[in-house]
Structure 1
Amino acid sequence: MTATKPSVLFVCVHNAGRSQMAAGWLRHLAGDAVEVRSAGSAPADRINPVAVEAMAEVGIDITAQTPKILTHEDAEASSVVITMGCGDVCPYFPGQRHEDWTLDDPAGQGIEAVRAIRDEIGDRVRALVAGLLPHRARS
């Protein structure tokens, strides 16, 4: 993290739903003021298409993203690490802020359930942006 640009890593098991939606929200809300990463402890082959659909409904396109494996380097380079059901696989480095967001997994869920998850993630990311960039927080 530099003095002016925080870095956030979102981690869930498959990096196909929750973490990808959170990363999409953060890119949308913070622009290039925050470095955004997402990864998974056991990445899926592709992003959950229902998560893609739900995000598109709010004008956020995550179709170009692909699930990625969690690396030690990505974790170490992040000033904020937010886990979403990946247990203790995330390494901890001194000076990092760690949060665990308890969220339902969108895997196998219909669009109605995924919309609710999307909206909860959006609310949490808005609060995160307000804390990281109080001068730039927007909805």
Structure 2
Amino acid sequence: MVAPGPPAFVRLAAHPLRWDLLTVLARGDHRVRELVSLLGQPQNLVSYHLRLLREAGLVTATRSGFDGRDSYYHLDLDRCADAFAAAGARLHPVLRPAPSATAPGRRRISVLFVCSGNTARSPMAEALLRHRAGDLVEVASAGTRPGSQLHPEAGRVLRSDFGLDLSGHRPRHVDAVAGQRFDRVITVCDRAREACPEFPERAHWSIPVPSDARFHDTAAEIDTRVRHLLPVLAADLT
């Protein structure tokens, strides 16, 4: 018996504008007006298709930590991966994706994470990428308005959840690394995105300011994004 039509994900992603939205959001988080500019489509049309992607659970929205009247849209790559896998398996079991491997490279990719204080989100991202990527990357972090010391909850959570030691981290200003070349610069808070100097290959992860009770969730979200970044960095080496 033939299955009744393509899976819902295939029907959803097959629309040209929705596919373009997925493609742009796969590279980083954006506000609606930025998506309108990037895609050259009317705002009402972009908002309509974003709503459909949100209802399907593929895209989420978070209030900007810089301007609470605005929102950043984020692509849930885990949900997309599950949907792709399920769609392929519907066609034939052989199309289930094989586990990906980190591609060997001749050089190391350099990555800079930036947040406001360089006391929590950016040092957590730095430590997690170094932990996940090993020799694949040279990674650093900095802040647009650095604090005096690492947030104690950032150190405690990374130690308890991932076995990582951040005791040697000292916050620094992004100006301290302005003369260095980075293959990728990723801002991990909305305020830093607005204040960060222009770097080539800059992307944004809209990660809210963590309260003491939410540091475990923040660390888990950053780790998920870091794991999704790894195949992108591996592809840069091929």
Fold similarity call, TM over 0.5: yes
Matches within 5 A, 1:97-136: 97-106=201-210, 109-110=211-212, 112-133=213-234
Measured in 1, the distance between the counterparts of 2:170 and 2:136 equals: 22
User: Within the alignment, does 1:80 sit opposite 2:184 as a pair?
Assistant: yes
Measured in 1, the distance between the counterparts of 2:176 and 2:112 equals: 12
Measured in 2, the distance between the counterparts of 1:75 and 1:125 equals: 25
Greater Rg over alpha carbons, structure: 2
Relative contact order, CA 8 A, sep 6+: which one is greater?
1
User: Within the alignment, does 1:69 sit opposite 2:170 as a pair?
Assistant: no
Distance 1:121 1:63, change over 3 A: same
Deviation at 1:92, TM superposition (A): 2.5
Measured in 2, the distance between the counterparts of 1:125 and 1:75 equals: 25
Distance 1:73 1:53, change over 3 A: closer
Measured in 2, the distance between the counterparts of 1:31 and 1:74 equals: 24
Match of 1:54 in 2: 157
Kindly report the root-mean-square deviation, in angstroms, between the aligned alpha carbons of the 2 structures.
1.9
Report runs of 4+ in structure 1 exceeding 6 Å deviation: none
TM score, norm. by length of structure 2: 0.50
Equivalent position SS for 1:9:
strand
**Richer in helix (by share):** 2
Q: For structure 1, list consecutive stretches of 5 or more residues without a partner in the other structure.
A: 135-139
Deviation at 1:71, TM superposition (A): 1.7
Measured in 1, the distance between the counterparts of 2:183 and 2:196 equals: 13
TM score, norm. by length of structure 1: 0.83
Q: How many residues align?
A: 128
Equivalent position SS for 1:78:
coil
Measured in 1, the distance between the counterparts of 2:143 and 2:106 equals: 27
User: Aligned residues: percent identity?
Assistant: 34
Measured in 2, the distance between the counterparts of 1:64 and 1:80 equals: 24
Give the partner amino acid of 1:5. R
Deviation at 1:72, TM superposition (A): 6.7
